């Protein structure tokens, strides 16, 4: 959820330190060398930034930036990044496909005994090969919905809440008599008319006690005139 003409940001990943520079400070008095390095932290993972603006005719203009990044290597610290940035105008409640980010990685490595692994045919008994392939497809579909009042916000929140709860129930493990834990945590059920009463009831034993009356302090600078007596 984002306010009108305000930017919203979602990051799913890690915040890692990256070395941006290395310097050496040579002391003039003692002749010692003090090496140091500068580090900058950067978000790595899936990043989505959206800035929306609602028009008078019910259209929504969005500025969208999506990024999928990762770090490869330990010494070189190479950052792999794929991103898409665009401007679109969509009607309220309509869905639009922004684009897709495809990432395909293939690694092939082999280890074995020196010399023996080079023998034809029999060398396969003295070596091993490892092949890995990672393929990620990230598709972005957006469906903006304008929330005009609190009732629309409650309806949208309960709809998303029920969808997440249904997904949790579908991932429940199968019943097993050998395992003691057969249930996974599931969100509680929330009804649309559920309201929490936060008022504190009054104590029936508490009674109001009248405050004692206090006579005013006489003014000694202007004494009251004596009351005539008969």
Segment 128-179, tens digit of pLDDT: 888 888 887 878 899 999 998 989 888 888 998 899 888 888 888 777 777 6
Under a CB-based contact definition with an 8 Å cutoff, are residues 42 and 16 in contact? yes
How many other CB atoms are there within 10 angstroms of residue 67's CB atom?
19
- Residue 128's alpha-carbon distances to 108, 113, 115, 116, 133, in angstroms, are 11, 9, 14, 12, 17
Confidence class of residue 24 from pLDDT cuts 50, 70 and 90? confident
Burial of 224 (0-12, 13-18, 19+ CB in 10 A): exposed
The mean pLDDT of the chain is 78
How many other CB atoms are there within 10 angstroms of residue 64's CB atom?
19
3-state secondary structure of 76: coil
Across 37-50, average pLDDT: 88
* pLDDT given at position 90: 92
Domain residue extents for the chain = 7-22+39-170
Does the structure show a pLDDT above 50 at 198?
Answer: no
Contacts of 192 (CB under 8 A, 6+ apart): 154, 155, 158
Burial of 183 (0-12, 13-18, 19+ CB in 10 A): exposed
- When comparing pLDDT for 10 and 204, which is higher? 10
> How far is the first Cα of the chain from the last one, in angstroms, to the nearest whole number?
88
Q: What is the C-alpha separation between 53 and 133, in angstroms, rounded?
A: 41
Buried/exposed code over 137-165 (b: 16+ C-beta within 10 A; e: otherwise) = eeeeebebeebeeeeeeeeeeeeeeeeee
Q: What is the pLDDT of residues 96-116, one digit of tens each?
A: 988 877 777 788 888 888 888
């Amino acid at each position: 959820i984002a306010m009108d003409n305000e930017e919203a940001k979602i990051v799913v990943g890690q915040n890692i330190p990256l070395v941006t520079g290395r310097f050496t400070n040579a002391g003039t008095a003692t002749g010692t060398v003090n090496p140091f390095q500068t580090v900058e932290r950067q978000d790595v993972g899936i990043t989505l930034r959206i800035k929306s603006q609602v028009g008078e005719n019910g259209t929504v203009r969005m500025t969208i930036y999506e990024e999928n990044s990762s770090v490869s290597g330990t010494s070189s610290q190479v950052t792999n990044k794929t991103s898409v940035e665009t401007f679109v105008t969509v009607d309220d409640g309509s869905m639009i496909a922004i684009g897709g980010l495809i990432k395909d990685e293939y690694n092939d490595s082999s280890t074995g005994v020196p010399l023996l692994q080079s023998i034809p045919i029999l060398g396969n008994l003295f070596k091993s090969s490892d092949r890995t392939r990672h393929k990620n497809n990230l598709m972005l579909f957006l469906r903006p919905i304008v929330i005009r009042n609190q009732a629309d916000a409650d309806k949208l929140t309960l709809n998303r809440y029920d969808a997440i709860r249904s997904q949790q129930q579908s991932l429940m493990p199968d019943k097993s008599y050998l395992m003691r834990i057969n249930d996974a945590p599931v969100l509680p059920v929330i009804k649309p008319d559920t309201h929490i009463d936060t008022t504190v009831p009054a104590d029936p034993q508490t009674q109001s006690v009248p405050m004692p009356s206090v006579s005013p302090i006489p003014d000694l600078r202007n004494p009251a005139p004596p009351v005539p007596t008969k």
